[in-house]
Amino acid sequence: MENIGFIGLGRMGLPMATNLIKAGYSVYCFDTSQTQMDLAKKNGGHLCDTVQQVVAQADIVITMLPNSDSVKKVITDLKDGILSSVRSGQLVMDMSTVSPETTDYVAQCCADKKVGFVDAPVGRLASHADAGQSLFMVGANKQNFIRITPLLEVMGSDIYHCGDNGAGTRTKLVNNFLAISYCQMNAEALSLAERFGLELDSTLDVLFGTTAVNGQLKIAWPAKILSGDSAPGFTIDLAHKDLSLVVEAANHAQMSMPMAAAAREAFSLARARGFGSQDFSSMLDVHCDLHQLEAPRLDPKSKYKPG
């Protein structure tokens, strides 16, 4: 087995690294949060004090970081980054959600150092990462894709090779545009139903029986906000960040995306009203709060109530 470096042990990164450890991999971990480092050690990870220490031990270095600037700094910084001490034969796999321009830049920097690079952003939620059921959208050449597939099979259940470097990142933005925008549309629709005085189950009966249905409403929402659970699997703050990436990438590609821009503004409003740390399905509560409505919830005996 190859030794694995894992940089970025947040809500998604820590369970992914833990699943690799459970599968028998030696995982060398680094995060700026001591709390997350302590959890990684408890789960069997080897702690490193610096990025360079991770690189010194690992054959494949994985990054799971919050934004484009962090990815650039951690990977390409010539003083403290991965590429400052990388060696021939190593491979860097970034699993963060970042701008396409960031992925393209990092991929070129790795190529200049004769180091393999893979972009493999993650689909689904933190609960799926916990269970090893994440979905991966991979941008890589065939050789590198084959090399990282055993790792992805441990961390997830669905792996899609979307094309060469950059294809994974771009696919993630397309996916997240739809998934996040559905939350705003669902929030408006169910708030309108509440204003009309409609019963929730009967409304869902109709929506689930027509082309109005979407995965957020049918699969995610009954288990989350419609059951009163606003604990973050994916926060409104992160959803806003991803919509910003979508709008910026579209502008760069000279594409008009008015729905994405409108959704981003709705999430901006949610953050301004103090909902940023809640699950993105809480857009329902945001919209009801805005219009002084009681947010609809499933009856405990509802057929749509999970479990």
Residue-wise pLDDT for 19-33, tens only, equals 999 999 999 999 999
CA distance 136 to 122: 5
172: annotated active-site residue: yes
Q: What is the pLDDT of residues 278-295, one digit of tens each?
A: 999 999 999 999 999 999
pLDDT (0 to 100) of residue 124: 87
188: Cα within 13 Å, side-chain hemisphere: 8
pLDDT (0 to 100) of residue 57: 97
pTM of the model: 0.93
CA distance 227 to 221: 8
- The active-site residue out of 42, 72, 114, 172 is 172
pLDDT (0 to 100) of residue 133: 96
- Say which DSSP state 191 is in: H
Q: Can you list the domains of the chain with their CATH numbers?
A: 4-165 (3.40.50.720), 171-290 (1.10.1040.10)
Q: How confident is the model at residue 125 (pLDDT cuts 50, 70, 90)?
A: confident
Q: How confident is the model at residue 93 (pLDDT cuts 50, 70, 90)?
A: very high
- Least Cα distance to 82 among 37, 48, 34, 33 occurs for 48
Q: What is the pLDDT of residues 158-188, one digit of tens each?
A: 999 999 999 999 999 999 999 999 999 999 9
What does pLDDT average to over the chain?
Answer: 97
Burial tier of 185 (Cβ tally within 10 Å: 0-12, 13-18, 19+): middle
% of the chain exceeding 70 in pLDDT:
100
